[in-house]
Structure 1
Amino acid sequence: MDSALERHCSELVARERSGHTAVLRENLLYVWGGYMSVADDEIFLPNDEIWKYDLEQGVWEVFHMKGEVPPSMSGTCGCSLNEHMYIFGGCDDNGQTNQIYCVDLTDGNYTWRKIIHDIGSAPSPRDKLSCWVYNGRIIYFGGYGHKLLSSVDSENKTFIVDEASWVGDVFWGWNNEVHIFDPTQASWTEPRIHGRAPAPRAAHASATLGSKGYICGGRVMETRTSDIHCLDLVSWTWTEIVPVSTIPVGRSWHTLSAVSENTLFLFGGLSVDCKPMSDGWVLDVETRQWREVEHPYKNKPRLWHTACLGKDSDVIVFGGSCDYILLVDTGHCNDALVFQLQPYPLFRICEDFIAKNVRKCELLRNRLPLLPPKLLTSVQKRMSFYRPTRKQQQ
């Protein structure tokens, strides 16, 4: 793996956090929610602000949000569809929720809208679930939450009760349910599933490749796994992928990103023995082979972070914790780690070279005004990204 970047170029920087939502639109990373630690307290981040990070310029901005603002939460399932950010589920001061909200990322108003479904029934309240976006719909899987005992399907075992958590006839536990939300119809449906479904779980990771949704690992009752399962989003058939090579250790609170037509990138998480992880792995879903990759962030373990796919197959990891949050809960982060997983195009190599070296090369500085206006603007943005920070200037 080639060198990666870790930058905060602006004076304004998003607060450190874990369990947040992040989506990428063009070269802009949007971050909302999550929580952090202050002294011995866990504090939810403000629900009425959204942070935007320009990946080309390295500049953060924060915006006030309006409308039907959701509660401050962590563990929501966020995604981007039709240039809107959707969040579903999560945990607030009252426990898990099953509400869904969206916000338009294009108009600059950042107005939340709570979606009231017209068709079907919403999933039960849950957090630490995942989703796939396919064919204009959002498909949700798994999570940890609560149900009435009367709605627990003990025969099909789609919900495993957490024996340590129940009050009266309300039970908490893990599920492996699949629910489809269609924004155009404001509808919830459950497809008829075929094949052997993965065990109920939460804090797993997911990614979409073409018409197939993948999940990896997660918390399954009292253990953490590294198993891989694929759901065909057309036939609704589950298939387990059995690797033919060395596999990553079991983990939860990690991320999985699609970086090519047939490869997935796994990063970080919390291991079976509760160790924060900093390893990176690539899975070829066709050959079923895992390959550990070298990267510059071996000293930066992360769990309950977010990962978004950027241009040229970069993976942008933001936030998360660097310690075992169930015990210590002090090491929340706010840096953006950019992983390069594919060779860059020649244009980007040239643009970055100029931006990195123009300040120390007189020849480049003199030739810069000769660039076409559009190209000059692009290079100037990258120069902003690589400009020395105040700390570096001191």
Structure 2
Amino acid sequence: MFDGPPEGAQVTWNNKRLPYQIFDDDSREISPVVGHTMIEYKKSLIVWGGYYFEEDNEFRYRSSTFLYILPAGLLTGCKDVKWILYHVPHGDVPPSISGACAVLCGCCIFIFGGYVRRSTPNNILEGQSSAMYVLDLVQERWSLVVTNDESLIPTPRDKMAGWCYKKKCYYFGGYGPGPFDMPNPALYLRDVGEFVADETRPFYWNNQLLIFDPDPTKQLNWTLAKVGGTVPSARAASACTFLERYNGILLFGGRSQNQRLNDLYLLDLSSLIWTQIDVTGINEPEGRTWCSLNALFPNQALIYGGYSNGARALSDFWRVEVQKDCVGRYLGTWTAVDTGLETKSRRLWHTAAIVDGQLFVCGGTDALLEEHIKIKGVLKKRMEPLPLSMICLGILFPVVQEVDMLPAPFQLRFAWARYVLSRGYQALHLGTEYFKKYKLLEILEMC
């Protein structure tokens, strides 16, 4: 697994009076990236962190003060791809990180763990982290969570899976030092879960389910979930998604020791009981890490790409349908999906989301060799028919010159779409100055 690169260059900010700028997908400012994290806020995708390989043969971290916002809701019917870079330099800004896990709860992003490298005048400090940073999307301010003296904390780790449920953050698995390798083991949560040693490095995979409660009135912020059922083995770099029909988290794959897995589990969020899903049929995807998993329907999900046991970057798509039989067993049926994409679509350590029936894949690489961390460009693939409203707006977009021609509910969003897709040069009757004052939450709501 990657350790992570040294800290890199910052994005050049041309107009410091503006909190954001708009860039084309292929512009220099939108670097390739792996080890990043992504959350979906309504129909906006927020990418943060990670690193890339620069032309000078050096790794560079993306600046931790920038959010890379993909306005996916505006792009589902467009060929062009635009990014909105939003600058958030205030508060306890996190260091540059790769392999962290971000969870959206309410209007805050909770970023836990990851691999950190800090340069000081006399030393380089690096390793997995157990810190939790919070970005308040309303206040546009970072904060570092400080637990009370009586609260135990997780061991440092990276490459976790995570989600939000009932205003609490959940993090599963990961890779890092074990509690007894830390200077004071008594400070760490270790009563539940297993740690499996890496035979080649002084680190461990784990299968702990951590719960972080951001309620400031709670005495203990971090707890270990007491789970039941068939608990997944210790692993890192797995993928998960929420299945609405079962009010559960579907977990797939990941790595433990030298094995990349292809097993499926469902966690009932109400009871915290794990169930291993029995796979029916003869076809199933090979074991992998660093793939994406996204819900397609209330009981179906799509995996894409990843890194195989044969040390190959993958380009395949698989759909899994989860059914519950008459005796309460969960059964999974895999189907290979022919997308018509070429082999150049191989990706691992990417992030993905499905917005309005379209899959958006951000970042990733096609190999674990340093010189290959250069993949640029958002991969888009339609998984469902385009909504009729988007078809109509797509037809109108190039011809409408006055938004008065449109129904009132569409006028502001149509002008905003014109502003974003023209990179801030056109805004119809509102004028470009109208949108330049937009704050972060307004941008996310409009996309």
Asked if 1:61 is matched to 2:87, the reply is no
The one-letter code matched in structure 2 to 1:352 is G
Find the counterpart in structure 1 of residue 204 from structure 2: 173
Find the counterpart in structure 2 of residue 22 from structure 1: 38
Query: What percent identity do the matched residue pairs reach?
Result: 29
- Aligned match for 2:157, one of 126, 138, 148: 126
Asked if 1:139 is matched to 2:170, the reply is yes
Give the secondary structure class of the aligned counterpart of 2:241: strand
Alignment RMSD (CA, Å): 2.9
- Aligned match for 2:113, one of 65, 76, 89: 89
Which ranges of structure 1 fall in alignment gaps of 5 or more residues? 1-6, 167-171, 359-363, 389-394
Give the secondary structure class of the aligned counterpart of 1:164: coil
Give the secondary structure class of the aligned counterpart of 1:149: helix
The one-letter code matched in structure 1 to 2:32 is E
Find the counterpart in structure 1 of residue 11 from structure 2: none
Alignment of 1:91-240 (within 5 A): 91-93=115-117, 94-107=126-139, 109=140, 111-118=141-148, 120-149=151-180, 158-166=194-202, 172-184=203-215, 185=218, 187-210=221-244, 211-240=247-276
The one-letter code matched in structure 1 to 2:97 is M
Give the secondary structure class of the aligned counterpart of 2:201: strand
Alignment of 1:253-272 (within 5 A): 253-272=290-309
Alignment of 1:30-69 (within 5 A): 30-38=46-54, 39-55=56-72, 56=74, 58-62=81-85, 63-69=87-93
Q: 8 Å contact 2:152–2:189 — kept in the other structure?
A: no
Deviates more, 1:281-290 or 1:222-231: 281-290
The one-letter code matched in structure 2 to 1:89 is G
Which ranges of structure 2 fall in alignment gaps of 5 or more residues? 1-22, 76-80, 118-125, 324-330, 424-447
Q: Deviations over 1:79-137 (max 9, x none)?
A: 21102111100001210000111112234x3x211112347422110001111221111
Distance 2:189 2:109 in 1: 32
Q: Deviations over 1:234-291 (max 9, x none)?
A: 2121111121131111111111112221111111111111111111111111151112
- What's the CA shift for 1:313? 3.8
- What's the CA shift for 1:366? 8.1
- Aligned match for 1:284, one of 321, 337, 350: 321
Q: 8 Å contact 2:192–2:208 — kept in the other structure?
A: no
Distance 2:98 2:339 in 1: 28
Q: Deviations over 1:304-324 (max 9, x none)?
A: 1112343x243322111122x
Q: 8 Å contact 2:25–2:377 — kept in the other structure?
A: no
Q: 8 Å contact 1:8–1:335 — kept in the other structure?
A: no
- What's the CA shift for 1:54? 2.4
Give the secondary structure class of the aligned counterpart of 1:285: strand
- What's the CA shift for 1:178? 0.8
Distance 1:125 1:135 in 2: 25
Q: 8 Å contact 1:24–1:309 — kept in the other structure?
A: no
The one-letter code matched in structure 1 to 2:50 is G
Q: 8 Å contact 1:102–1:115 — kept in the other structure?
A: yes
Q: 8 Å contact 2:179–2:190 — kept in the other structure?
A: no
**What is the TM-score when the length of structure 1 is the normalising length?**
0.84
Distance 2:285 2:26 in 1: 36
Q: Which has the higher contact order (CA 8 A, sep 6+)?
A: 1
- What's the CA shift for 1:11? 5.3
Find the counterpart in structure 2 of residue 4 from structure 1: none
Give the secondary structure class of the aligned counterpart of 1:67: coil
Q: 8 Å contact 1:319–1:332 — kept in the other structure?
A: no
Find the counterpart in structure 2 of residue 392 from structure 1: none
**What is the TM-score when the length of structure 2 is the normalising length?**
0.74
- Aligned match for 1:247, one of 279, 284, 291: 284
Distance 2:394 2:419 in 1: 11
